[in-house]
Amino acid sequence: MTVALSGKEIAGQLEGKFPGSIVESGRDCIVVNSDSLLAVAAFLKDTQGLDLDYLNYITAIDYYDHFEVVYQLVSLEHNHSLVLKTRCYQRDNPTLLSVVNLWQGADFQEREIYDLMGIRFEGHPNMKRIVLWEGFQGHPLRKDYL
Amino acid sequence: MALKTEPFVLNIGPAHPSTHGVFRMRSTLDGEVIVDMEPVFGYLHRGIEKLAEERTYTGVIPLTDRLDYLASMSNNLAYCLAVEKLAGIEVPERAEYLRVILAELQRIASHLIAVGAFLNDCGAFMTPILYMIREREKILDLFDMVCGQRLTYNFMRVGGVSQDIPEEFLPALRRFVGQMPGFIDEYDRFLKENEILLARAKGVGILTREMAINSSAGGPVLRGSGVKWDIRKADPYSIYDRFEFDIPTGAAGDCYDRYRVRVEEMRQSVRIIKQAMEQLPSGPVRSEVPHLIHPPVGEAYAHIEAPKGELGFYLVSDNSIAPYRCHVRAPSLINLTALRDMVVGWKIADAIIIFGSIDICMGEVDR
Amino acid sequence: MNIINLGINNLGQPATLPPDWPGGFWWHWLVFTIIILAFVLSMVMGFIYFERRGMARMQARLGPNRVGPFGLLQPVADAIKVLLKEDIVPSKADKIVHWLAPVVAFVPVLLIFAVVPFQDGALLADLNIGILYVVAISSISTVGIFMAGWGSSNKYSLLGAMRGVAAIVSYEIPVVLAIAGVVMIAGSLSMNQIVLAQNVPFILLQPLGFLLFFIGSCAEINRSPFDLLEADSELVAGFHTEYSGMKFAMFYLVEYAEALAMSAIITTLFLGGWRGPILPPWLWFVIKVVAVFFVMIWTRTTLPRIRIDQMMALAWKFLLPLAMINLVITAVQVLVWPTAVPWVMIPVNLAIMAVLVVVWSKFFKLGWGRVEV
């Protein structure tokens, strides 16, 4: 059975290493600051005992006043998973750091989030639209699109 | 004296007799060898995630049919599991067993097309795929008996399945399950050790174990590279923990291994169906669920082992009748991430085979 | 039942037709030209139908069965459809080359039939260099294929045509060496003499030669498993992508006419041509040609396609050495035991073939010896 790691425990570990990075921690997810996203992600991937080397999915949700980007990380070896979230408060041109160098699986998913939600990922080698055509105006999955 | 050559750009697709759906591989070729490749898709984008926000929870089920249209039962199942997790709805026993039987039948049907299309790409000119379609027709007849549809079933519901199976289903299923292992052996007899198939598929398009994990591959692509990860065993959903079955894995991660993994999975599916048929209890097939479901505010993610990989639905609810956000974790899209690394260095003919061995369905990739 | 009753000759077969039957050079030429044209065109139509039906039945489906009784008029329907299509020529194509290519590809195939014996002495021209003429003429089709690829101004057609030419040229050599073995036993290059020398069909005396010739000719006419030029799961239709209408029909005809020609050559060289009891000789010829073509359909339906580099490796590393060994063994047998009884030579040759094929295939694996299953 895949064990969902407790948010509070991981939050405790992370506060120790990266102070100020945790915004909130729930029972099964942690919310980090968008600035410390890359450092936290690298820590989660490389630490022995956590070994979260499999990125299951990335998705983004539009909560009217902010965007929330959700990452689920899984460790195939230890069979546990963790949900990592981060928030973007800008509406016009939100940017985040890309995790493509850690998990190549993020490649198409980050492009899709850019295409449909408008969040740019810095450090991504090919930040262009993926499901819609070049020259499409707007980002359809946003709540204020239609 | 070295010949001065210049690489040129070639589009394989989107309208191509062999790519599975509308998919374009923008390749840079040096002679016949591919030096770079960029996949371009989006030709089938219908905005399913956006449409899902405007339909009731039950109304989204027909939309999920059209994601991976070759494995609709699995899509329905994943979505219903997600809603049930979100709303805390229990499913009766009989419905659980029926779901397992239908999902495994669907896995066999999807793998038949996957293996057949792969062999067709290898050049066996329609003979293997036609033999496999003959078996798939039997499965589609079974599905027709159950829900009246052959391709997009819309059969599972939140809280169970939509209606009970008719009387003639179980005897027909028993007949099918009796014959199927014989057919799989027949395919193996023709193809498993065929010299030409080995020459075309062995060692071609290798996906190493580290690369597979790093690019979030799932399903037969991941298992073909030697990673023993199957959601049915690692994180059992529904009642899969009551059945005995093995997980076939490959060793080298080449096209041949992925093909063997799919064939062995078909055998294991037959095994599961046999066990489920014996243990099938009687009872209601759907729990009492209100017409318009109002799940509490929150979010849930449920995943299943679909034939193509790990299919998951991430639902966010705000206590209204429609989902606030429905995201589909599409296995085909994520399995494509590693395509470029698998294809570079091989010839055009191999690129078609490698692409066929990943087995994608454009409905999922573009959504 | 025979075309003309001339009595029995010393072989027990109907007597040889005089070389200028029915009398006069031009009448002979006219009658046989008409016979050959009728034969080729009708057999090609029959082959198209036979292939579609045969392949379909092997693939657990029916095949054409609507047009005419049992779908027999299907090729006629296809021919009419293709004649009525618009002829599209790419604007940048080299017009003359583009127009000439189907002609250059098709005419040599028809020319091969000039030396194929339908009955004892019933040939358009009983050349005493018969089989050498066949080998020479069949190579001209290759030029037609390359012209088609070049004249299309399409880089993929050119790629396909170049691959095709490389493959055809590579497979010529084992084919010619296999023919040399047959010629040594028959003692003559003339096709009619080769048939007359087959008291025992040469397939039994030269089993390895038959195998090499069959594989080589399948590769030369681009039939599966060597049909990578027109593979629909590769890029495009190869060298005949840019052709439509009647020109495309010519290429299609070329494919089947070459299959017919190769089947006829195999029948003549290895299966005893028109020889056989009871039935009239030309009927035996047709039966044997259809049987050989059936084996070609069978391999097409069953085997996957091999890649171009694997195909070249097969020609140079597998077929060529075997062809040379076959030639040497045949030469030794003809020289040392010229009057050996066939009943002794047949099992000896079959054994030699079996041993050689098994041993050589251990040395050469199509996939370059990758790890076994």
Measured in degrees and rounded to the nearest 5, phi and psi for residue B182 equal: -60, -40
Alpha-carbon gap, residue A89 to A33, rounded angstroms: 11
Q: Are strands A22-25 and B8-12 parallel, antiparallel or unpaired?
A: unpaired
pLDDT of residue B101: 92
Between chain A and chain B, the number of residue pairs with CB atoms below 8 A apart is 82
| Total tally of structural domains belonging to chain C | 1
Other C-beta atoms closer than 10 Å to the C-beta of C172 total 18
Task: Confirm if C195 and C299 have CB atoms less than 8 A apart.
Answer: no
Chain B environment of A107 (Cβ under 8 Å): 215, 337
In this predicted model, what pLDDT tens digit does every residue of B267-294 receive, in sequence order? Answer: 999 999 999 999 888 888 888 888 888 8
In this prediction, residues A32-61 reach a mean pLDDT of 86
Answer whether B126 sits within 8 Å of C59, measured CB to CB.
yes
In this prediction, residues B34-58 reach a mean pLDDT of 89
In this prediction, residues C299-319 reach a mean pLDDT of 83
Which of B67, B209, B213, B241 is the best substitution to test chain A (most A C-beta atoms within 10 A)? Answer: B213
pLDDT band of C20, cuts 50, 70, 90: low
Which of B27, B34, B127, B137 is the best substitution to test chain C (most C C-beta atoms within 10 A)? Answer: B127
The CA distance from C233 to the nearest CA of chain B, in Å, is 5
pLDDT band of C370, cuts 50, 70, 90: very low
Q: Is the pLDDT of residue C372 over 50?
A: no
Q: Is the pLDDT of residue B5 over 90?
A: no
pLDDT of residue B264: 92
Higher confidence at residue C311 or residue C343?
A: C311
The CATH class given to the B8-366 domain equals mainly alpha
Task: Confirm if C179 and C166 have CB atoms less than 8 A apart.
Answer: no
pLDDT of residue C205: 82
Which tokens belong to B235? 């994180």
pLDDT of residue C3: 42
Residue C342 lies in a domain: yes
**All domains of chain A in start order, with CATH:** 3-106 (3.30.460.80)
Closest residue of chain C to B190, computed from CA coordinates: C302
In this predicted model, what pLDDT tens digit does every residue of B220-241 receive, in sequence order? Answer: 999 989 888 888 988 888 888 8
pLDDT of residue C1: 35
DSSP state of C106: H
- Partner B contacted by A133 (CB < 8 A): yes
Answer whether B301 sits within 8 Å of A107, measured CB to CB.
no
pLDDT band of B100, cuts 50, 70, 90: very high
In this predicted model, what pLDDT tens digit does every residue of B106-155 receive, in sequence order? Answer: 999 999 999 988 888 887 777 888 888 888 999 999 999 998 888 888 89
| Subunits in contact with chain C (3 or more CB pairs closer than 8 Å) | B
- Partner A contacted by B229 (CB < 8 A): yes
Q: Is the pLDDT of residue C75 over 60?
A: yes
Mean pLDDT of chain A: 85
pLDDT of residue C17: 58
- Residues 6+ away with beta carbon under 8 Å from A145: A138, A139, B50
Chain B environment of A145 (Cβ under 8 Å): 50
In this prediction, residues B65-92 reach a mean pLDDT of 90
pLDDT band of B92, cuts 50, 70, 90: very high
- Residues 6+ away with beta carbon under 8 Å from A82: A4, A5, A7, A10, A29, A30, A44, A50, A52, A72, A73
pLDDT of residue B107: 93
Alpha-carbon gap, residue C174 to C314, rounded angstroms: 11
Answer whether B198 sits within 8 Å of C301, measured CB to CB.
no
The CA distance from B335 to the nearest CA of chain A, in Å, is 8
End-to-end CA distance of chain A: 41
* Domain layout of chain B by residue ranges: 8-366
Q: Taking Cα atoms as reference points, which of C275, C267, C244 lies closest to residue C12? A: C275
Q: Are strands A29-32 and A22-25 parallel, antiparallel or unpaired?
A: antiparallel
pLDDT of residue C233: 45
In this predicted model, what pLDDT tens digit does every residue of C43-61 receive, in sequence order? Answer: 888 888 888 888 888 888 8
pLDDT of residue A11: 80
Answer whether C61 sits within 8 Å of B347, measured CB to CB.
no
Q: Which residues constitute the domain of residue C313?
A: 25-363
pLDDT of residue B2: 63
In this prediction, residues A43-60 reach a mean pLDDT of 86
Other C-beta atoms closer than 10 Å to the C-beta of C18 total 12
Which value does ipTM take for this structure? 0.90
Chain A environment of B227 (Cβ under 8 Å): 76
In this predicted model, what pLDDT tens digit does every residue of C210-219 receive, in sequence order? Answer: 989 999 988 8
In this prediction, residues B185-212 reach a mean pLDDT of 85
pLDDT of residue C340: 66
DSSP state of C226: S
pLDDT of residue A77: 86
Q: Is the pLDDT of residue C4 over 50?
A: no
- Partner C contacted by B198 (CB < 8 A): yes
- Residues 6+ away with beta carbon under 8 Å from A30: A7, A10, A11, A14, A22, A24, A82, A83, A84, A85
Alpha-carbon gap, residue C371 to C373, rounded angstroms: 7
Other C-beta atoms closer than 10 Å to the C-beta of C199 total 9
Residue C371 lies in a domain: no
pLDDT band of B252, cuts 50, 70, 90: confident
Over pLDDT 90: what percentage of chain A?
5
Instruction: Indicate the SS3 state at residue B154.
Output: coil
pLDDT of residue A36: 84
Higher confidence at residue A102 or residue A2?
A: A102
Q: Is the pLDDT of residue B7 over 70?
A: yes
Mean pLDDT of chain C: 80
pLDDT of residue C8: 52
- Residues 6+ away with beta carbon under 8 Å from C304: B119, B122, B123, B124, B194, B196, B197, B200, C225
Over pLDDT 90: what percentage of chain B?
29
Q: Please name the member of A59, A129, A131 whose beta carbon is closest to the beta carbon of B327.
A: A59
Which of C162, C223, C226, C303 is the best substitution to test chain B (most B C-beta atoms within 10 A)? Answer: C303
In this predicted model, what pLDDT tens digit does every residue of C145-180 receive, in sequence order? Answer: 888 888 877 777 777 788 788 888 889 899 999 999
Higher confidence at residue C293 or residue C352?
A: C293
Q: Is the pLDDT of residue B250 over 50?
A: yes
In this predicted model, what pLDDT tens digit does every residue of A58-91 receive, in sequence order? Answer: 999 988 888 899 999 888 888 888 888 888 888 8
Lowest mean pLDDT among C10-14, C72-76, C187-191, C356-360: C10-14
pLDDT of residue C31: 84
End-to-end CA distance of chain C: 57
pLDDT of residue C365: 66
pLDDT of residue B204: 86
Alpha-carbon gap, residue B352 to B200, rounded angstroms: 11
